[in-house]
Amino acid sequence: MKTIRAKLKDADVLDQFDRVVFESLVEKVIVGEQEEDGTVDPYKLTFVLKGMDERSIPDARDRYMNLHNKAV
């Protein structure tokens, strides 16, 4: 994510979600993951990008709640 942020830092920002842009960058999104100890983390998001390796957001729920609380 740091690499993506660095490349997009000076780029024009979209005011709204653009499905075409998203689908051109993201091959698939994996929701949840089973840990080695058998526990399931349903809040982990893994974005598999086209032409790149996987990028994960292990604390997606916490990040969403923080953004949501700031907006309210």
**3-state class of 46 per DSSP?**
strand
Structure tokens at 69: 């609380």
Tens digit of pLDDT at every position of the chain (72 positions): 788 778 777 777 778 888 988 898 888 999 998 888 989 988 888 888 887 666 666 677 777 777 777 766
How far apart (Å, rounded) are the C-alpha atoms in residues 62 and 34?
Answer: 18
How far is the C-alpha of 51 from the C-alpha of 31, rounded, in Å? 20
**Entry pTM:** 0.50
Domain boundaries, the chain: 2-71
